[in-house]
Amino acid sequence: MGKDIKEKQAAKKPEQAKKAVKEEEKKVYTEQQMKEVADKLAAEKDSYLRLMAEFDTFRRRSAEEKLAITASAASKTIEGLLPILDDCERGMALLGVSAEDSETNGVALIYKKLIDYLHTLGLKAIEAKGAEFDTDFHEAVTQFPTPDEALKGKVIDVVQTGYTLNGKILRYAKVVVGV
């Protein structure tokens, strides 16, 4: 048995030697090593923050592009409906002269529902008659001499109604200007 104890003690000595080496390895890093580790950590953190900022920019830009595509599609659809609005207005004017009240009321009801729906989408008619001629909203079809000085430079008649969609010109109002 004495032999077994000696063998166990001999086996423990290498383990103790290994522990001592590990303890030396665990000793405090030098200041230079600490600075290198801190610099690496700062560089990785900076890289991470830049990547997150780029991703946030990408996400915001793609959301804006999606909204722009949707708005563009809506404006094209509404722009296609404008000739129908014009035809409804002409039809109501003709029916007002020669038709019964029920026919006029039917067309007026359809027109009102259509225009109300388009107003909810942001469509607004450009009020032109009697207003000062403005090239930002009006397109002069012709000029007409007026005897009244107060009508010079003003819109006398509207040939075709203009519309804005959410503040942007969808179609200019075609007008007659007094000179």
Q: Does residue 151 lie within any of the structural domains?
A: yes
Structural domain tally of the chain? 1
Q: What whole-number percentage of the chain has pLDDT above 70? A: 81
Q: Is residue 87 part of a domain?
A: no
The structure's pTM equals 0.58
The CA distance from 173 to 176, in Å, is 10
Residue 47 counted as domain residue: no
Residue 168 lies inside a defined structural domain of this protein: yes
CA–chain centroid gap for 167, Å, is 14
Q: How confident is the model at residue 46 (pLDDT cuts 50, 70, 90)?
A: very high
Provide the residue range defining the domain that includes 149: 123-179
pLDDT average, residue stretch 115-133: 87
> Does 109 score more than 80 pLDDT?
yes
CATH of residue 159's domain is: 2.30.22.10
In a domain, 172, yes or no: yes
Integer angstrom CA distances of residue 152 from 3, 133, 155, 176? 126, 9, 8, 11
For 53-105, what is each residue's pLDDT tens digit?
Answer: 999 999 999 999 988 887 777 888 888 888 888 888 888 888 776 656 777 77
Is 178 domain-assigned? yes
Q: Is residue 138 part of a domain?
A: yes
Does residue 4 lie in a domain region?
no
Helices (H), 26-153: 31-98, 101-120
Q: What is the pLDDT of residue 42?
A: 93
> What mean pLDDT is predicted for residues 17-30?
64
